[in-house]
Amino acid sequence: MRSAHTVEQVRAAEAELMTRLPEGALMQRAAAGLAYAVIDLLGEAYGRRVLLLVGSGDNGGDALYAGVLLARRGVQVEAWLLSDRAHEAGVAALTGAGGRVVRITGADSQSGGRRPDVVVDGIVGIGGRAGLRPEAEAALEAVRGAPTVAVDVPSGVDVDTGEVAGAHVRADVTITFGTHKVAHLVDPAASACGVVHLVDIGLDLPDATVEALQPEDVAALLPRPDPDAQKYARGVVGIRAGSAQYPGAALLSVAGANSGLCGMVRYVGDVADQVRATHPEVVGAGRVQAWVVGSGGGNGAADQLTEALQDRVPTVIDADALRSVVGPVPVPAILTPHAGELAAMLRVERGEVENRPLEHARRAAATYGAVVLLKGRHTLVVEPDGRVRATTTGTPWLATAGAGDVLGGLIGALLAAGLEPYDAASVGSWLHGAAATLASAGGPVTASQVAASIPAAVRALAEA
């Protein structure tokens, strides 16, 4: 499990560790990890040029001491000090190692000479606020286009919420220490982090409230048939989706469910003949262990939801059916909105959800007493108690018509197979992204191809 901790949790763990270490040892650990990551990005050290953007905090000290190690490897290191206060011991060490230190005053920064091969962002650490001061903005503008490595988090993002406000660093690589932070997993800040590399510095941390499943976690949670299993024991999922106007939604919802993860799929709706023609394994009305409702239901989605809820089984509520959710859902449920649908449910503007997805997903989960799966680049799965899993699998090509219908069906199959809603939603989201990556192979992908690749994604987990 990839765990993301808050600033308060990290600070407490660091303080406890420092009582057991010599003074300065923790910063030296961080600096060493940062320096080796920069060398990996450079490919070679000797003769390369690295620019450090240094603020007043400890991550500025991390950058300075990393600069010392780089200078000793033959890197030409220059540090721009963007504050009247800097880590003086780090400044002295870098100067002693042959690095160049420049104090930047006002908002005027000039790169001067050859563009650096790598810029190290040590401007603001995890204790900073969102946004940047003018001198930091000017420094970033002066080196625009150079590969950037952020120390702990990209400067200017909100670490505990994943929000951004105004100017911030967009890193190619982020080197973080001890644990991931919320901003590494939650957009929009996560999109500014680039590739995140974790350096273990020996922190003893509590349980995290924001996590990201890893392949081994998904493999452990996936329901697998017993040796003597039969189809009913493996779970039956029902699909109430599609309409005469939107028959494709039914076909795609069924395709997501009919991926072999449960024993049987039932379809009840207006396009049963088309569903059976495409999916001959699918049967009609009968007893189910879970329902999937709403995709392409149009004006009939409200009735679909009412009928499904009468069975008192776990239910995935998607698309058109979300408009009929006006209070706490009376069964274990998973709501699967995109930003616009969640905005309508919470009566806010879409931009507010996109700017603060974690806040709004948590609010919706508490309001409706259901697991909320907020679709996005990093989809968020949120429990009513505030726990969060962020999905980091997938590809930008997954932003395609019908992909959400496949996702709903897949999650429904996992519910029917016995997973709790929080696990079904997060495992389903992870598999959906993994299947899309397999189907895409770096290029365009359709929703039907994603559904067809779900078994391959499951097999890849078993092989790993």
The 3 state secondary structure assigned to 238-306 is: EEECCCCCCHHHHHHHHHHHCCCCCCEEEECCCCHHHHHHHCCCCECCCCCCEEEECCCCHHHHHHHHH
Q: Which domain holds residue 374?
A: 215-463
Give me the percent of the chain exceeding a pLDDT of 90. Answer: 92
* 223 shares a domain with 202: no
The pLDDT, as a whole number, for residue 345 is 98
* 282 shares a domain with 153: no
Q: What is the largest distance, in Å, between two alpha-carbon atoms of the chain? A: 79
At 108, the pLDDT band (50, 70, 90 cuts) reads: low
CATH number at residue 183: 3.40.50.10260
Q: Does the structure show a pLDDT above 50 at 186?
A: yes
At 208, the pLDDT band (50, 70, 90 cuts) reads: very high
Burial of 316: CB neighbours in 10 Å, binned 0-12, 13-18, 19+: buried
Average pLDDT over residues 457-464: 90
* 284 shares a domain with 312: yes
At 129, the pLDDT band (50, 70, 90 cuts) reads: confident
Number of domains in the chain: 2
Average pLDDT, the chain: 95
The pLDDT, as a whole number, for residue 114 is 73
* 364 shares a domain with 286: yes
- Domain limit, last residue, from 208, 233, 263: 208
* 317 shares a domain with 386: yes
Angle at 270 between CA 266 and CA 274, to 5 degrees: 70
Residue recorded with tokens 């240094």: 54
At 110, the pLDDT band (50, 70, 90 cuts) reads: low
Q: Does the structure show a pLDDT above 60 at 170?
A: yes
The pLDDT, as a whole number, for residue 463 is 84
Least confident span in 57-61, 236-240, 356-360 = 57-61
Average pLDDT over residues 123-140: 89
Distance set, CA 399 to CA 140, 189, 359 (Å) = 31, 20, 23
* 184 shares a domain with 160: yes
Least confident span in 28-37, 124-133, 398-407 = 124-133
Average pLDDT over residues 144-159: 96
The pLDDT, as a whole number, for residue 57 is 86
Give the orientation angle of helix 339-346 with respect to helix 357-368, to 10 degrees.
50
Residue 78 amino acid letter:
E
Q: Does the structure show a pLDDT above 60 at 153?
A: yes
Q: Does the structure show a pLDDT above 70 at 88?
A: yes
* pTM (predicted TM-score): 0.95
Which of 213 and 114 is assigned the larger pLDDT?
213
What CA–CA distance (Å, rounded) separates 359 from 353? 8
**C-beta atoms surrounding 278 within 10 Å:** 17
- Domain limit, last residue, from 158, 184, 208: 208
CATH number at residue 360: 3.40.1190.20
Q: Does the structure show a pLDDT above 90 at 314?
A: yes
Average pLDDT over residues 374-402: 97
What CA–CA distance (Å, rounded) separates 39 from 50? 10
For residue 360, how many C-alpha atoms fall within 13 Å in the half-sphere facing its CB?
A: 26
Pairing assessment for the beta strands 290-293 and 264-267 based on DSSP bridges: unpaired
* 221 shares a domain with 203: no
- Domain limit, last residue, from 153, 174, 208: 208
Average pLDDT over residues 46-62: 94
What CA–CA distance (Å, rounded) separates 386 from 365? 8
* 449 shares a domain with 429: yes
**C-beta atoms surrounding 429 within 10 Å:** 27
Residues in the chain: 464
Q: Does the structure show a pLDDT above 70 at 404?
A: yes
* 288 shares a domain with 159: no
Structure token digits, residue 414: 């996992």
Dihedral (CA of 394, 395, 396, 399) sign: negative
The pLDDT, as a whole number, for residue 107 is 47
* 345 shares a domain with 221: yes
Dihedral (CA of 240, 241, 242, 248) sign: negative
Instruction: Report the chain's C-alpha Rg in angstroms.
Output: 25
E strand spans, 299-339: 315-317, 333-335
* 396 shares a domain with 276: yes
* 451 shares a domain with 386: yes
Give me the percent of the chain exceeding a pLDDT of 70. Answer: 98
